[in-house]
Each structure stands twice: as C-alpha cells, then as structure tokens.
Amino acid sequence: MAIKDVKNMGKDYGKDLPKGDYLDCALAHNPFGCPTLVIEELKKLSFHDIHLYPNNDEKLKEALAEFWNVKNDQIFLGTGSMGCLQKINKLLTPGSVVLGYSPQFLPYINDARLNGAVYHYVPLLREEDFTIDVSRIIAQIDERTTFIYVDNPNNPTGQIFKLKEIEELAEEAGRKGAILIVDEAFGEFMEKRNSAINLEYPNVVITRSFSKGFGLAGLRIGYCVVKGKEMKELLFKVDFPFSITNISIRAALKALEDTEFLKKTIKKTKKSKEKTMKELGRRFHIAKTHKTTPIFLCGGQKDTYGYFLQKGILTVPGSEFMNLDDSYVRIRVPKDVDELLTRINLPSP
C-alpha cells in the first residue's frame, strides 16, 4: 500500500478527542469501573520482578480454557482484542479480500488494508434502521474471499448476531475456503451461550477483550480462541512473544472470578440504555440495537456530532466509520444518565 493510500484511510476513533468539561460517551471503557477483586489484587503487587519477562500466561490460558470448556492450546493472548486481530491480519497477503458490512469497527479494517487487503462490504441502510442481514453477507462470499469479519455485538450499533447466524456464515465460509473472524470485544454484554466459542468449526477465529465488560481497558489484555489445527499453526508462527504483562494477567485472572461485577454491569447498562434511548428517541433516529449492549447509533440531524459537542457531550462521530457521516454518532451509555439528559435539555450555547 502506498503512503498516499494510508493518508486516505479512515481515522481510528478515540484519537484527538476534544479537551474540556465534557461528559464522555465516546470511548468504550466500562464507566462502572472494574471488579473489586482486581483492585484488591493489584494492591498486593510488588515490583521486585519487573525486570523479568512475563511468565504467567499459561495460568490465564488454563483459566480461560476452563471458563469456555476449550483446550489450552486453542487460546492465544494479546494486547486487547485489537492486538489479537493484528496478529490474525499478519496472515493476509497483498490482494487478499476481507468481506464485512458497514458500519463496523474501523481500526480492524484499517489494519487489514495496511496488510495489503482489499475491503469489500455490504452497506447497512438507514431506511432499514441499519439492520444487519446475514443473508446479504453470505451472498457476497466467493472463492476470492480470504477473511470474513463480523463484530458481535456490532460496533457502532450494538446489534447482536444470533449464534445460528454465525454458524451459517461459518458454513458458507468453509465451503468457499474462507476464514470467519468473530470479534466479540463487547461479548460480555451478550449471553455466554451466544458466543461463537461454542461452535466447532476449524475456519472460525474468535477474539475477546477484558477492556469492556470486565473494565480492564487500561491494562490492554485480550485473547482469541482458535480450534482449527491449521489456523492454530499459522497463528503460532505470527504470535508476538511477551505481548502481555504479569500485571495484566493477574488482573484478568481475578476479573474472571468476580462474576457478580459483570452481572451488575449488564444490569446497570440495560437500565441506563433504556432511559437514554427513550429520551433521545424523541429527537433522533436510533438504529437497531440490543438492550444489553452499552453502545448504540443515534442521528438524523445534519451535524449530530456537533449538536452533542455543543451540549458538552463527547460521542464518536459517524465520519469515523465507513458508510456514515456526522449526521450520526455512536453513543456509549454513561455512568450518570441523568447528567447526560440534563445536558441534552440545556439550551445550546
């Protein structure tokens, strides 16, 4: 890819956020914090061994294997789910075709293109509430398709694919010799039984993060699950050595233990989202979404992003996704919904 092509790529959101007294409804960290068990564990830390390379990754793999009922060697760790996606994209070659739909998580797309891929997408339509139609994606899979990328839940709409739909994609991908990547960065906000990790397909790779539901965004830790022998061997070759820290491993182990924190986060998120959407739905178009996911797509004005910014609310502008503009924004449900609604109802400056 030429330098001029890189310059023309979409900007990854989260960069160059305005500074000031803004209510953050942009970055997708957990506004409710992280598990108490994690805080207690980190207070015990001693730093006498920070000169050593990380050596506890097998403990986390064992815990995740037990959590998901998979094998240790089917798990690869990385710096958040994006770190895992970057490893996977190293398998791309110039001209590889990545198929998706749009809008979806732009940093993955940018990284795939930087690795030489050509991105094809099925557009989600405003007149259909940006509803994801799996049959349209399946219809676009052919022998040229290298990867199919789906984010489940979808970022930015917060829609959730049913497991049966993911299975249909995996079957068609397998018939055409393609790999299905299921990015479950927001996966903690859907039922565990809906995860693609429950499927047994050799051509499926699932990425997960501790950043969202578990509240460990600042520690940058994630993982991917791969069951196919050939895909495991390929990922082993491109796996980065020492890509996570002992601190992040200890935090992740404790986060897996604190199941109550996740339940409370989902309950609070659902309640806050319902209240937020009820108010915003009177003024804006809300795209199809799921009640438990912490994000949704909202818009309809000429400059919806500017509208929220004037109200002192940070959102992710639609222009930072493909197939959208600033007439739409992605909103991450805040901790204090009343503060959001108060700012919305204040006169514009």
**What are the DSSP E strand ranges found in the chain?**
23-24, 75-78, 97-102, 118-123, 145-151, 179-184, 204-209, 222-226, 285-286, 295-299, 313-314, 316-317, 328-332
| Residue 1, pLDDT above cutoff 60 | no
Task: Out of 92-101, 303-312, 339-348, pick the least confident.
Answer: 339-348
Same domain, 120 and 241: yes
79 and 140 in a single domain? The answer is yes
* Predicted pLDDT of residue 349: 57
pLDDT for res 214: 97
**Statement to judge: residues 239 and 264 lie in one domain:** no
Number of structural domains found in the chain: 2
Does residue 16 have a pLDDT over 80? no
Domain that holds residue 158: 36-257
Residues 225-260: tens digit of each pLDDT: 999 999 999 999 998 888 899 999 999 999 999 989
**14 and 145 fall within a common domain:** no
Is pLDDT at 170 greater than 50 in this prediction? yes
Same domain, 179 and 286: no
Q: Are residues 173 and 265 in the same domain?
A: no
Closest by CA to 337, choosing from 260, 278, 282, 264, is 278
Residue 13 · residue 320 · CB < 8 Å: yes
* Res. 31: pLDDT tops 50: yes
Pick from 140, 134, 147: nearest CA to 178: 147
Question: Rounded distance, CA 282 to CA 284, Å?
Answer: 6
Task: Looking at mean pLDDT, say which of 37-46, 148-157, 233-242 comes out highest.
Answer: 148-157
Average pLDDT over residues 335-340: 93
For residues 296 and 158, is the Cβ–Cβ distance under 8 A?
A: yes
Residue 331 contacts residue 25 (beta carbons within 8 Å): yes
Identify the pLDDT of residue 3: 46
Number of DSSP helices (H) and strands (E) in the chain, helices first: 12, 13
Residue in 114, 13, 89, 115 with CA at minimum distance from that of residue 321? 13
Q: 305 with 200, same domain?
A: no
